[in-house]
Structure 1
Amino acid sequence: MFRRRTKPIKGHYQSIALLEEVVLGGIKQFVLIRGENKANPIMLFLHGGPGTAQIGFAPKFQKNLEKDFIVVNWDQRGSGLSFSPEIHKEEMTIENMLQDGVELIKHLLERFQQSKLFLVGHSWGTVLGTLIAENYPHYLHGYIGIGQVANMKKGEKISYKYTLKKAEELKEEKALRELNGLKFNPYDMNYLITQRKWLTKFGGSAIGVSDFNLIYSNMIFAYEYTLKDWMLYMKAGRFSLESMWTQVMEIDFLTNPLQLEIPVYIFAGKQDYQTPSELAANSVNNLDCPHKEFVWFDHSAHLLNFEEPQKFYGQCLRIKEMLV
């Protein structure tokens, strides 16, 4: 509650359970490294947002993964434990995030004496993950995208139409009033907050897990974040989102088909209307790579690794057995 730490892992092998500060791009940032066997392959998670850091809540959903991987969660610059008032908005760029990520990958590979790792991106993290996979494939066994971004502008239109349709179907008068009173402008933070509020209520963001399960239930019991860290969490998230959202909105992986040199696995929740899964499916069709798979998670929306953690673990284990 008052001191950051992570619980030790007991097992038959040489385990690792470490919350540490690393310097990436000249900025102090935090990573959580957990695994039952230091000889296992590394799996690095790139969280969503920008700003939805997950060191404080991800570990309780990743216990099975820790048996077969060295699981690394990274609070990206400006978010979670890596937030600092000394970080300026102009430093919050996709290019800087990309270089931070590559620097971290090199650090992890050297530390564990491995040549490659598994990269997992979620939502905004799929932008970062796709760019790393495109430009630095030699560091990766493969790439897994969750809530894969395809074309942000098209995605936001689909997301808004879904939210409005659900409000009409459910005759939710307050939602209709607020949504119809909005000018469609996904670049605007007030628009985004209102639209996402109703999207979440109508099941387009999550159906198998709640904000309570993810965040609020961890505020007292998570070892990795102190109460002060949780108090700063939303401020950091808002700072990251406001700093980077305009850049993220320009992302388009559909117009120009991607060519990647590694295996790619896209996991999509059937009910995901935050980064609409129909566009993710289209992006896979346009993808040129040695091996690609599109996997549906039938009981999930945008947070499938937390909504269906057992299925997610099984898929990751299957991929590991194929590639390592």
Structure 2
Amino acid sequence: MVSFKMFYSKTPKIKDDDGKVKPNSVTTLEKVEIGGIDQWLLIRGHDKNNPILLILHGGPGSIEGPFAYKFERELEKHFIVVNWDQRGAGKSFSKKVNKESMNIEKFISDAHELIEILIKRFNQTKVYIVGHSWGNVLGTLVVSRYPELIHAYVGIGQVVNILDNEKISYQFTINQAEKLGNKKALKQLKKLEPYPEKDITDTKALRKQRKWLTKFGGVIYNEKSWWPYLKIAFGSPEYSIKDLIKFVRGIKLSLDTMWKQLFEIDFIKQIPELKVPVYFCMGRHDYNTPFELAEQYFNQLTAPKKEFIWFENSAHMPNFEEYKKFNDILIKKVLLEAYN
């Protein structure tokens, strides 16, 4: 059984109450050439005529496909849900990935190409975009550049300015360490000062700060580790153990090649307007992408419609931590208000 799980993965068919495959459903786990290399897609939906929902994962490199079976099944009844393992991430990871191609402009190009592929395949004109963390850096840039292809944009843990992001996140970990009297945390965190300016290319410092941020509940509310979610990932039918090893390797590749580039992001100055409906979904306890920056951006952002939605029992992962509420928002609000 272990050896089977090591290499094998597939996505199950969508069946009706009688156990028969729904004739209009779509369930594919496939690689597609995007940007000159093979990249993997998990596409699922009860009806191939439903609108397309493209999920842009975080990280960079932190794929969300392994969690789809747990958190996205309700969405599949109303959308064609597309999880894309981006260049260098998850199933799309390869030792042969050209590190020079791991740049923000190339990811924008990849996303645009993928949207065109999906629109053509499913005979539609637009997609919905959900961007989580790094995925909303990419999503905001794509929506800004190609609004004519987008029904609406949903940002989870919205990124605004990485330099300010890291300063606030770091200060939260210092404050929590002092409050809890955690001398070990304080000692390790103080060695990073001034963070992040000491060295914005130092992903080891980033990982150390995020280790303590996770322990202090600023990533997952009421959890001190990723273990509950790792167990979910290991249960995914769509990802083998080999794929999950690539997941880990892809995170390292993506961060090492792209982290410095993210310090160029300042959306308040760079993207003051989006020409599609915008929904920010923010965890009340999020210090991975601090909610106060998202509030500031939201208040200054011009859009035909915009809404800021709080998740009171979440930190950085409201689409997992409060997934039923998140799914309801997409189905009962975003889909109804922004289908055009």
TM-score norm. by structure 2 comes to 0.92
Kept in 1: contact 2:166–2:195 (CA 8 A): no
Alpha-carbon distance in 1 for matches of 2:276, 2:92: 30
The answer to whether structure 1 residue 170 and structure 2 residue 180 are counterparts is: yes
What does residue 58 of structure 2 align with? 48
TM-score norm. by structure 1 comes to 0.96
Kept in 2: contact 1:53–1:79 (CA 8 A): yes
Deviation string for 1:72-101 (max 9, x for gaps)?
Answer: 000000010001111121110000000000
Three-state SS of the structure 2 residue aligned to 1:77 is coil
Q: CA deviation at 1:57?
A: 2.1
Deviation string for 1:263-296 (max 9, x for gaps)?
Answer: 1111110000011011001111111111111111
* Residues 108-123 of structure 1: pairs in structure 2 closer than 5 A: 108-123=118-133
What does residue 334 of structure 2 align with? 319
Structure 1 residue corresponding to 2:230, chosen from 194, 211, 215:
215
Q: CA deviation at 1:260?
A: 1.5
Deviation string for 1:96-139 (max 9, x for gaps)?
Answer: 00000010001111111111110000000111000111000011
What does residue 199 of structure 1 align with? 213
Q: CA deviation at 1:37?
A: 1.3
Alpha-carbon distance in 2 for matches of 1:59, 1:24: 25
Higher mean C-alpha displacement, 254-263 vs 80-89: 254-263
Alpha-carbon distance in 1 for matches of 2:11, 2:129: 22
Instruction: List 4+ stretches of structure 1 deviating above 6 A.
Output: none
Deviation string for 1:46-83 (max 9, x for gaps)?
Answer: 00000101222233110111111111000000010001
What does residue 100 of structure 2 align with? 90
Give the RMSD, CA atoms, in angstroms.
1.3
What does residue 141 of structure 1 align with? 151
* Residues 12-51 of structure 1: pairs in structure 2 closer than 5 A: 14-51=24-61
Alpha-carbon distance in 2 for matches of 1:36, 1:299: 30
What does residue 276 of structure 1 align with? 290
Q: CA deviation at 1:45?
A: 0.3
* 1:213 aligned partner, one-letter code: P
Kept in 2: contact 1:57–1:215 (CA 8 A): no
The answer to whether structure 1 residue 4 and structure 2 residue 9 are counterparts is: yes
Alpha-carbon distance in 2 for matches of 1:222, 1:169: 38
What does residue 71 of structure 2 align with? 61
Alpha-carbon distance in 1 for matches of 2:97, 2:41: 18
* 2:289 aligned partner, one-letter code: T
* Residues 60-79 of structure 1: pairs in structure 2 closer than 5 A: 60-79=70-89
Kept in 2: contact 1:183–1:191 (CA 8 A): no
* Residues 262-273 of structure 1: pairs in structure 2 closer than 5 A: 262-273=276-287
Alpha-carbon distance in 2 for matches of 1:40, 1:214: 29
Three-state SS of the structure 2 residue aligned to 1:261 is coil
* 2:323 aligned partner, one-letter code: P
Alpha-carbon distance in 1 for matches of 2:106, 2:55: 17
Q: How many residues get paired?
A: 323
Structure 1 residue corresponding to 2:243, chosen from 229, 233, 238:
229
Q: CA deviation at 1:201?
A: 0.4
Kept in 2: contact 1:56–1:222 (CA 8 A): yes
Kept in 2: contact 1:257–1:286 (CA 8 A): no
Q: CA deviation at 1:215?
A: 2.2
Higher mean C-alpha displacement, 90-99 vs 181-190: 181-190
Q: CA deviation at 1:257?
A: 5.0
* 2:89 aligned partner, one-letter code: S
Higher mean C-alpha displacement, 226-235 vs 138-147: 226-235
